[in-house]
Amino acid sequence: MEMHWASRDRQHLEQAIWRHLTEPSGPGKPGSARRAGSGNAYAFDLWIAHLALVEQVLELAPIPWQELRAEELDGLLLLRAARERFRREYYPCAECGAPVKGKICPRCGAVS
Ligand SMILES: [Zn+2]
């Protein structure tokens, strides 16, 4: 199963999570998998979606962390660390909400 190895490739998962945060691809936009030009990115997208789901479920119904699979716990920690880094380095564009790291929005070109 594709997700299986995606969950264990920690280094690339970390990079994929970072792309997921900094290059949001909504339903109407081409996915990051296609941009990356490989089916591998798709497996990471699936795994990240799974981690996000687990995170939401945990907020509704907390379970002991011991009950999570090791790779889920690991993934959740990576996701959390990436979000914290993201909050330090980026801010949302006042015009369109896209993540911006400098002064010019990469999506709409607004200058802050
Ligand atoms: Zn913008």
- The four Cα atoms 23, 99, 13, 85 give a dihedral, to 10 degrees, of 170
pLDDT tens digit sequence for 13-38: 999 999 999 886 555 444 444 455 56
What distance in angstroms lies between residue 78's CA and the mean position of ligand 1's atoms?
A: 27
Whether the predicted pLDDT of 95 surpasses 60: yes
What distance in angstroms lies between residue 25's CA and the mean position of ligand 1's atoms?
A: 14
What distance in angstroms lies between residue 22's CA and the mean position of ligand 1's atoms?
A: 13
DSSP summary character for residue 103: S
What distance in angstroms lies between residue 68's CA and the mean position of ligand 1's atoms?
A: 38
Mean per-residue pLDDT, 7-12? 87
Q: How far apart are CA 37 and CA 88, in angstroms?
A: 29
Angle at 76 between CA 75 and CA 81, to 5 degrees: 100
What distance in angstroms lies between residue 90's CA and the mean position of ligand 1's atoms?
A: 12
Q: How far apart are CA 88 and CA 85, in angstroms?
A: 5
Give pLDDT, residue 7.
81
What distance in angstroms lies between residue 87's CA and the mean position of ligand 1's atoms?
A: 17
Give the least confident one: 32-36, 60-64, 81-85. 32-36
Percentage of the chain modeled with pLDDT above 90: 62
- Please tell me the pTM assigned to this model: 0.74
Give pLDDT, residue 48.
95
CB 50 within 8 A of CB 41: no
